[in-house]
Amino acid sequence: MSDHSRPGLGIVLILCAGLLLSSQDALAKVLASAYPVLLVACLRYWAQSALMLVLFAPRMGLDLVRTRRPMLQLARGISLVAVTLLFYSGLRYMPLGEATAVIFLAPLVVVLLAVFWLKERVSLGVWLAAGGGLLGVLLIVRPGGALFTPASLLPLAAAFCFGFYQLITQRLGSTDNPATSNFLTALVGSLGTSLLLPWVWQTPALMDMLLMAALGGIAMTGHMLLTHAYRFASPAALAPFTYGQILTATLISALFFDHLPDTWAVLGMLVIILSGAALVWSQQRTRQSR
């Protein structure tokens, strides 16, 4: 249930979620530089599945796995696995802040998918926001710049997969429990990555294995905080603070990886943030006018 009556609490929760998710990405960047990305993702999903089973199964029982739309749940799980593998791979070659900014194109991707897949009509303002987001990416990975390499396509591809994931999540919201959707997604990730794991297996040190498992707990907690944030505040009120994750990722990158974005990259981040905020504002106006 949501009443949007405590926007301050919603803002605090979404800022905490951004900090957790940025920290998870930073940890994944460290681990993915030493181990196969598939191994890191696999242990993350298994830990997340086990944790959700412990937390939700006693209360929900078999309802935890009951879904009215199994094929959509499968597609949602595959989409998020693709996001994880592509983004973790991109973090091997790109700074954390810049890669995070690129994946925040996902809301704009949702709009494009709604137009071309669901045949929805959108306003000129939405198209301008989408164009602004793409301009922001070009400023970050500009031709001739140090980041203009094939590896820069990895977080961009992750953003498109994340757009699919968000669109499917919206369609499942009216039929399936969020806990069910999140558990089934983690389960698809666990089983899917396990099938390929024998080809890339590398025995991790005990501490590294625990850190890979911690990724699952951090990711689950971050997404739970996001869910609760939208109970207390509207998407329009939270939109500017959602992009705080780009700032926290940039700060973590500076503190732990000794990297600061250059002027063009900072400008690109700002353009993506403003484009995303403009998108939310335009969609809010469209809803109010109906």
Instruction: State how far the alpha carbon of 144 is from the alpha carbons of 117, 124, 133, 147, 238, in Å.
Output: 34, 31, 20, 8, 36
Q: Given this model, what pLDDT does residue 134 score?
A: 73
| Mean pLDDT of successive 10-residue stretches along the chain, which has 290 residues | 65 87 92 93 93 91 88 92 93 87 78 69 70 76 65 86 82 80 91 90 91 90 79 69 82 87 82 76 62
Do 280 and 239 form a contact (C-beta atoms < 8 A)?
yes
Do 56 and 183 form a contact (C-beta atoms < 8 A)?
yes
For the record, the structure tokens of 206 come out as: 């005990």
For the chain, give every domain's residue range.
7-289
Do 89 and 37 form a contact (C-beta atoms < 8 A)?
yes
User: Helices 206-232 and 178-196 meet at what angle, rounded to 10?
Assistant: 150
Q: Given this model, what pLDDT does residue 288 score?
A: 58
Q: Which of 174, 209, 184 is nearest to 71 (CA)?
A: 184
Q: Which of 91, 96, 84 is nearest to 159 (CA)?
A: 84
Q: Sign (positive/negative) of CA torsion 70, 66, 13, 250?
A: negative
Q: What is the pTM of this model?
A: 0.84
For the record, the structure tokens of 169 come out as: 């999540």
